[in-house]
Amino acid sequence: MASTRVLVVEDEEALATLLEYNLKREDFEVALASDGEEALMKIDESLPDIVILDWMLPKVSGIEVCRRLRLKPETKNIPVIMLTARSEESDRIRGLEIGADDYMTKPFSTNELIARVRAVLRRIRPALVQDEITHGDLKVDRTAHRVWRDDKEIHLGPTEFRLLDHLIRHPGRVFSREQLLNAVWGSDVFVEVRTVDVHIGRLRKALNKYNQGDPIRTVRSAGYALDAA
Ligand code: CA
Protein backbone atom coordinates (compact mmCIF):
# COMPACT_ATOMS: atom_id res chain seq x y z
CA MET A 1 0.00 0.00 0.00
CA ALA A 2 1.25 3.47 -0.85
CA SER A 3 2.57 5.16 2.26
CA THR A 4 2.58 8.86 3.06
CA ARG A 5 5.26 10.68 1.10
CA VAL A 6 7.32 13.27 2.95
CA LEU A 7 9.76 15.61 1.24
CA VAL A 8 12.45 16.87 3.63
CA VAL A 9 14.13 20.05 2.38
CA GLU A 10 17.17 20.67 4.56
CA ASP A 11 20.73 21.69 3.69
CA GLU A 12 22.24 20.48 6.98
CA GLU A 13 23.13 16.97 5.93
CA ALA A 14 23.24 15.49 9.44
CA LEU A 15 19.78 16.79 10.27
CA ALA A 16 18.37 15.64 6.90
CA THR A 17 19.76 12.13 7.48
CA LEU A 18 18.39 12.03 11.02
CA LEU A 19 14.92 13.07 9.85
CA GLU A 20 15.01 10.59 6.99
CA TYR A 21 15.96 7.74 9.33
CA ASN A 22 13.27 8.53 11.88
CA LEU A 23 10.49 9.16 9.35
CA LYS A 24 11.27 5.91 7.52
CA ARG A 25 11.17 4.05 10.82
CA GLU A 26 7.62 5.40 11.23
CA ASP A 27 6.70 4.02 7.77
CA PHE A 28 6.80 7.29 5.90
CA GLU A 29 8.24 7.35 2.40
CA VAL A 30 10.98 9.98 2.39
CA ALA A 31 12.58 12.09 -0.33
CA LEU A 32 15.36 14.59 0.38
CA ALA A 33 16.30 17.90 -1.21
CA SER A 34 19.24 20.01 -0.05
CA ASP A 35 18.27 23.36 -1.56
CA GLY A 36 15.15 25.21 -2.64
CA GLU A 37 15.71 24.70 -6.33
CA GLU A 38 16.04 20.93 -5.94
CA ALA A 39 12.92 20.94 -3.74
CA LEU A 40 10.81 22.65 -6.43
CA MET A 41 12.16 20.25 -9.04
CA LYS A 42 11.35 17.17 -6.92
CA ILE A 43 7.86 18.44 -6.11
CA ASP A 44 7.28 18.96 -9.81
CA GLU A 45 8.37 15.39 -10.56
CA SER A 46 6.30 13.76 -7.86
CA LEU A 47 3.93 15.51 -5.48
CA PRO A 48 4.65 14.76 -1.83
CA ASP A 49 1.86 14.50 0.76
CA ILE A 50 3.69 16.89 3.08
CA VAL A 51 6.84 19.03 2.95
CA ILE A 52 9.21 19.66 5.85
CA LEU A 53 10.89 22.84 4.75
CA ASP A 54 13.95 24.56 6.22
CA TRP A 55 13.72 28.35 6.20
CA MET A 56 17.38 29.11 5.37
CA LEU A 57 18.31 27.24 2.21
CA PRO A 58 20.83 27.76 -0.59
CA LYS A 59 19.58 29.00 -4.00
CA VAL A 60 15.86 29.44 -3.26
CA SER A 61 14.88 30.14 0.36
CA GLY A 62 12.32 28.07 2.23
CA ILE A 63 9.92 30.96 2.43
CA GLU A 64 10.15 31.44 -1.36
CA VAL A 65 9.59 27.71 -1.95
CA CYS A 66 6.49 27.88 0.23
CA ARG A 67 5.25 30.99 -1.56
CA ARG A 68 5.66 29.34 -4.97
CA LEU A 69 3.87 26.18 -3.82
CA ARG A 70 0.90 28.27 -2.71
CA LEU A 71 0.69 29.96 -6.13
CA LYS A 72 0.14 26.81 -8.19
CA PRO A 73 -3.23 25.05 -8.07
CA GLU A 74 -1.65 21.58 -8.05
CA THR A 75 0.65 22.37 -5.10
CA LYS A 76 -1.25 25.00 -3.14
CA ASN A 77 -2.80 22.47 -0.77
CA ILE A 78 0.35 20.52 0.08
CA PRO A 79 0.90 20.86 3.83
CA VAL A 80 4.17 22.56 4.80
CA ILE A 81 5.97 22.49 8.14
CA MET A 82 8.70 25.13 8.30
CA LEU A 83 11.93 24.63 10.23
CA THR A 84 13.97 27.54 11.42
CA ALA A 85 16.95 28.34 13.58
CA ARG A 86 15.41 31.68 14.38
CA SER A 87 12.76 31.97 17.00
CA GLU A 88 11.54 35.53 16.58
CA GLU A 89 7.79 35.81 16.76
CA SER A 90 7.76 37.97 13.61
CA ASP A 91 9.36 35.12 11.63
CA ARG A 92 6.80 32.68 12.91
CA ILE A 93 4.00 34.98 11.86
CA ARG A 94 5.60 35.57 8.45
CA GLY A 95 5.96 31.83 7.92
CA LEU A 96 2.33 31.21 8.74
CA GLU A 97 1.23 34.18 6.63
CA ILE A 98 3.03 32.82 3.60
CA GLY A 99 1.06 29.62 4.00
CA ALA A 100 3.06 27.26 6.20
CA ASP A 101 0.77 24.99 8.21
CA ASP A 102 3.07 24.66 11.19
CA TYR A 103 6.43 25.88 12.35
CA MET A 104 9.26 24.42 14.44
CA THR A 105 12.28 26.16 15.90
CA LYS A 106 15.63 24.37 15.91
CA PRO A 107 16.75 22.50 17.87
CA PHE A 108 13.65 20.30 18.16
CA SER A 109 13.02 16.67 19.01
CA THR A 110 12.42 14.36 16.06
CA ASN A 111 9.50 12.77 17.90
CA GLU A 112 7.89 16.15 18.32
CA LEU A 113 8.31 16.86 14.61
CA ILE A 114 6.77 13.51 13.65
CA ALA A 115 3.87 14.20 16.00
CA ARG A 116 3.37 17.57 14.26
CA VAL A 117 3.52 15.88 10.82
CA ARG A 118 0.75 13.50 11.87
CA ALA A 119 -1.29 16.32 13.40
CA VAL A 120 -1.04 18.46 10.26
CA LEU A 121 -1.98 15.50 8.05
CA ARG A 122 -4.94 14.67 10.30
CA ARG A 123 -6.13 18.25 10.11
CA ILE A 124 -5.54 18.88 6.41
CA ARG A 125 -5.74 15.48 4.77
CA PRO A 126 -7.78 13.27 7.03
CA ALA A 127 -7.96 10.75 4.18
CA LEU A 128 -4.23 10.05 4.52
CA VAL A 129 -4.50 8.77 8.04
CA GLN A 130 -7.85 7.01 7.74
CA ASP A 131 -8.30 3.39 6.85
CA GLU A 132 -11.70 3.93 5.31
CA ILE A 133 -12.09 6.65 2.70
CA THR A 134 -15.37 7.76 1.21
CA HIS A 135 -15.61 9.96 -1.85
CA GLY A 136 -18.97 10.52 -3.50
CA ASP A 137 -20.48 7.06 -4.00
CA LEU A 138 -17.06 5.37 -3.66
CA LYS A 139 -15.77 3.76 -0.50
CA VAL A 140 -12.32 2.23 -0.04
CA ASP A 141 -11.34 0.13 2.96
CA ARG A 142 -7.56 0.06 2.94
CA THR A 143 -7.18 -2.45 5.71
CA ALA A 144 -9.46 -5.01 4.14
CA HIS A 145 -8.51 -3.99 0.55
CA ARG A 146 -12.17 -3.72 -0.41
CA VAL A 147 -14.00 -1.20 -2.58
CA TRP A 148 -17.68 -0.32 -2.86
CA ARG A 149 -19.63 1.90 -5.19
CA ASP A 150 -23.21 2.74 -4.27
CA ASP A 151 -22.85 0.07 -1.55
CA LYS A 152 -22.14 -2.61 -4.17
CA GLU A 153 -18.78 -4.26 -3.79
CA ILE A 154 -16.31 -3.78 -6.67
CA HIS A 155 -13.50 -6.27 -7.14
CA LEU A 156 -10.18 -4.79 -8.19
CA GLY A 157 -6.77 -6.23 -8.96
CA PRO A 158 -3.90 -5.12 -6.67
CA THR A 159 -2.59 -2.49 -9.11
CA GLU A 160 -6.05 -1.05 -9.76
CA PHE A 161 -6.61 -0.94 -6.00
CA ARG A 162 -3.41 1.04 -5.44
CA LEU A 163 -4.29 3.41 -8.29
CA LEU A 164 -7.72 4.10 -6.84
CA ASP A 165 -6.26 4.39 -3.33
CA HIS A 166 -3.86 7.05 -4.59
CA LEU A 167 -6.46 8.98 -6.61
CA ILE A 168 -9.09 8.94 -3.87
CA ARG A 169 -6.66 10.49 -1.40
CA HIS A 170 -6.32 13.52 -3.68
CA PRO A 171 -9.71 14.03 -5.33
CA GLY A 172 -9.74 16.51 -8.18
CA ARG A 173 -5.98 16.60 -8.48
CA VAL A 174 -4.53 15.77 -11.89
CA PHE A 175 -1.68 13.26 -11.90
CA SER A 176 0.59 12.72 -14.88
CA ARG A 177 1.31 9.14 -15.96
CA GLU A 178 4.84 9.50 -14.58
CA GLN A 179 3.53 10.65 -11.21
CA LEU A 180 1.13 7.71 -11.07
CA LEU A 181 3.96 5.35 -12.01
CA ASN A 182 6.08 6.70 -9.17
CA ALA A 183 3.25 6.60 -6.67
CA VAL A 184 1.80 3.20 -7.51
CA TRP A 185 4.65 1.16 -8.97
CA GLY A 186 7.55 2.97 -7.26
CA SER A 187 10.28 5.09 -8.78
CA ASP A 188 12.87 2.30 -8.90
CA VAL A 189 10.78 -0.01 -11.09
CA PHE A 190 10.94 0.12 -14.86
CA VAL A 191 7.41 0.16 -16.21
CA GLU A 192 6.32 1.72 -19.48
CA VAL A 193 4.19 4.82 -19.15
CA ARG A 194 1.54 3.18 -21.34
CA THR A 195 1.04 0.58 -18.61
CA VAL A 196 -0.69 3.29 -16.57
CA ASP A 197 -3.30 3.70 -19.32
CA VAL A 198 -3.96 -0.04 -19.34
CA HIS A 199 -4.57 -0.16 -15.59
CA ILE A 200 -6.63 3.06 -15.61
CA GLY A 201 -8.76 1.39 -18.30
CA ARG A 202 -9.30 -1.67 -16.10
CA LEU A 203 -10.05 0.49 -13.08
CA ARG A 204 -12.62 2.49 -15.06
CA LYS A 205 -14.31 -0.63 -16.32
CA ALA A 206 -14.53 -2.12 -12.84
CA LEU A 207 -15.84 1.09 -11.26
CA ASN A 208 -18.45 1.48 -13.95
CA LYS A 209 -19.68 -2.09 -13.71
CA TYR A 210 -23.21 -0.98 -12.87
CA ASN A 211 -23.19 2.01 -15.26
CA GLN A 212 -23.05 4.67 -12.58
CA GLY A 213 -20.78 6.84 -14.73
CA ASP A 214 -17.01 7.18 -15.08
CA PRO A 215 -15.51 8.95 -12.05
CA ILE A 216 -12.04 9.17 -13.62
CA ARG A 217 -11.31 12.15 -15.77
CA THR A 218 -8.72 12.07 -18.56
CA VAL A 219 -7.00 15.42 -18.87
CA ARG A 220 -5.55 15.72 -22.35
CA SER A 221 -1.75 15.66 -22.43
CA ALA A 222 -1.73 15.98 -18.62
CA GLY A 223 -2.96 12.76 -17.06
CA TYR A 224 -5.79 11.52 -14.89
CA ALA A 225 -7.85 12.71 -11.94
CA LEU A 226 -10.60 11.31 -9.81
CA ASP A 227 -13.40 13.81 -10.13
CA ALA A 228 -14.21 15.90 -7.11
CA ALA A 229 -17.54 14.82 -5.63
CA1 CA B 1 19.45 25.71 6.57
Distance 56 CA to ligand 1 centre (A): 4
Distance 53 CA to ligand 1 centre (A): 9
Q: Say if residue 119 is in the same domain as residue 154.
A: no
Residue 178: other Cβ atoms inside 10 A: 14
**Domain residue limits at 88:** 5-128
Query: Rounded to whole angstroms, how far apart are CA atoms 77 and 50?
Result: 9
CATH number (domain holding residue 174): 1.10.10.10
Q: Say if residue 81 is in the same domain as residue 183.
A: no
Q: Strand 152-154 and strand 146-149: pairing?
A: antiparallel
CATH number (domain holding residue 106): 3.40.50.2300
Q: Say if residue 140 is in the same domain as residue 123.
A: no
pLDDT digits over 104-159, tens only? 988 899 999 999 999 898 887 666 666 788 899 999 988 778 999 998 999 999 89
R_g of the chain, CA atoms, integer Å? 18
Distance 11 CA to ligand 1 centre (A): 5
Distance 10 CA to ligand 1 centre (A): 6
Q: What is the DSSP string of 156-186?
A: --HHHHHHHHHHHHSTT--B-HHHHIIIII-
Note the pLDDT of residue 145: 85
Count of domains for the chain: 2
pTM of the model as a whole: 0.59
- For 65, the enclosing helix (H) or strand (E) is helix 62-71
